[in-house]
C-alpha cells in the first residue's frame, strides 16, 4: 500500500510538471515590471536578512496542486531564501524547467519572485540561525548548480525540490540540528511549505495578500 501510494504521489507531480511545460503559462523572466517597493513596504525592505524564508502563493493550476502537499495549512505553493548581494535582494530557489526557464538553482530578484501578476500572496519568516552560515550554504549550492528533483527524493542531495532546498540549507547551517518537521503521507516523507514556518523556531516577519 505504501509503495502504491508513493507511485500515485510521484505520478501526480510528474503529470503536473508536464502540464506546466506544455501549457500557456507565462514563461519565467527576470524582466518584471514590479519594483521592490511595489511588493514590500520600505520599512520591511531595510530589515530583511539573508537567510529569511520567503513563501508565495501562485495563481496557476500548478500552484494549486503544490499547496495541497501541505497537510496543516494549505496556503503557500513555493519557497526560497532571501539573499542579499551587492546591496540588492534576491531569492535563492529552484523550479522545474518551463519554456525557456532552466531547472537549475537560481538567484531571482525579490521583486520578480513576489510579482503581483503571478502571485496572490507571500510571507517572510525568520529563524535564529546565523546569517553567514546560511549564506555559506547557499553559495555552495549555487556553485554546484544543482537541478530540480522531479522524483522528489529527499534522501539525495545532487537534485532538490524547492522546499527541500530550504530545509537542507537551514538544517546544515544549524549544525545539522533538525528543527523543521517532515510531512509523512502514503509512506513517503517530504518537506511541505507549511513545515518550513509552522515550527517553534520560525517567526513571521511580514505577510501580504493582493
Q: Which residues, at least 6 apart from 138, have a Cβ–Cβ distance to it below 8 Å?
A: 50, 51, 81, 83, 92, 169
CB 124 within 8 A of CB 203: no
The reported pLDDT for the residue numbered 58 is: 92
* Local confidence band at 133 (pLDDT 50, 70, 90 cut-offs): very high
- For residue 148, what are the β-bridge partners? 160
Question: What would the grid cell of residue 71 be?
Answer: 497537510
Q: In this structure, is the dihedral angle defined by the CA atoms of residues 41, 198, 182 and 138, taken in order, positive or negative?
A: positive
In angstroms, the CA 63 to CA 65 distance is 5
The reported pLDDT for the residue numbered 83 is: 97
pLDDT digits (tens, 9 = 90+) for 95-129: 988 777 789 999 999 999 999 899 999 999 999 99
CB 6 within 8 A of CB 188: yes
- At residue 169, does pLDDT exceed 70? yes
| Chain mean pLDDT for the chain | 85
DSSP state letters, 43-54:
HHHTT--TT-EE
* Local confidence band at 21 (pLDDT 50, 70, 90 cut-offs): very low
Nearest to 182 by CA among 203, 168, 172, 169: 168
Whole-model pTM over 0.95: no
In angstroms, the CA 185 to CA 9 distance is 9
- At residue 209, does pLDDT exceed 50? yes
Question: What would the grid cell of residue 10 be?
Answer: 510521484
pLDDT digits (tens, 9 = 90+) for 28-85: 333 343 588 888 888 888 899 999 999 999 998 888 888 999 999 999 999 999 999 9
Instruction: For residue 120, give the 3-state DSSP assignment.
Output: strand
The reported pLDDT for the residue numbered 31 is: 38
CA distances from 111 to 10, 29, 41, 114, 128 (A): 32, 12, 12, 5, 25
Instruction: For residue 26, give the 3-state DSSP assignment.
Output: coil
The reported pLDDT for the residue numbered 19 is: 42
The rounded percent of the chain whose pLDDT value lies above 90 is 67
Q: Could you write out the three-class secondary structure of 138-207?
A: HHHHHHHCCEECCCCCCCCCCEECHHHHHHHHHHHHCCCCCCCCCEEECCEEECCHHHHHCCCCCEEEEE
* Local confidence band at 142 (pLDDT 50, 70, 90 cut-offs): very high
Amino acid at each position: 500500500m505504501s509503495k502504491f501510494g508513493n507511485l500515485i504521489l510521484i505520478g501526480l507531480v510528474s503529470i503536473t510538471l508536464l502540464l506546466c511545460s506544455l501549457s500557456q503559462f507565462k514563461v519565467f523572466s527576470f524582466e518584471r515590471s514590479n519594483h521592490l517597493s511595489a511588493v514590500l513596504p520600505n520599512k520591511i525592505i531595510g530589515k530583511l536578512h539573508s537567510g529569511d524564508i520567503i513563501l508565495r502563493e501562485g495563481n496557476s493550476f500548478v500552484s494549486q496542486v503544490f499547496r495541497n502537499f501541505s497537510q496543516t495549512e494549505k496556503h503557500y505553493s513555493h519557497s526560497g531564501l532571501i539573499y542579499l548581494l551587492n546591496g540588492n535582494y534576491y531569492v535563492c530557489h529552484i523550479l522545474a524547467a518551463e519554456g525557456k526557464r532552466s531547472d537549475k538553482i537560481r538567484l531571482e530578484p525579490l521583486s520578480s519572485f513576489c510579482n503581483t501578476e503571478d502571485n496572490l500572496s507571500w510571507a517572510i519568516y525568520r529563524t535564529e540561525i546565523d546569517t553567514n552560515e546560511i549564506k555559506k550554504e547557499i553559495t555552495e549550492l549555487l556553485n554546484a548548480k544543482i537541478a530540480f528533483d522531479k522524483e522528489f527524493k529527499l534522501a539525495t542531495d545532487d537534485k532538490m525540490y524547492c522546499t527541500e532546498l530550504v530545509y537542507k540549507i537551514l538544517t546544515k547551517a544549524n549544525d545539522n540540528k533538525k528543527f523543521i518537521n517532515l510531512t509523512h503521507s502514503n509512506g513517503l516523507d517530504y518537506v511541505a511549505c507549511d513545515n518550513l514556518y509552522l515550527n517553534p523556531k520560525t517567526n513571521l516577519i511580514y505577510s501580504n495578500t493582493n
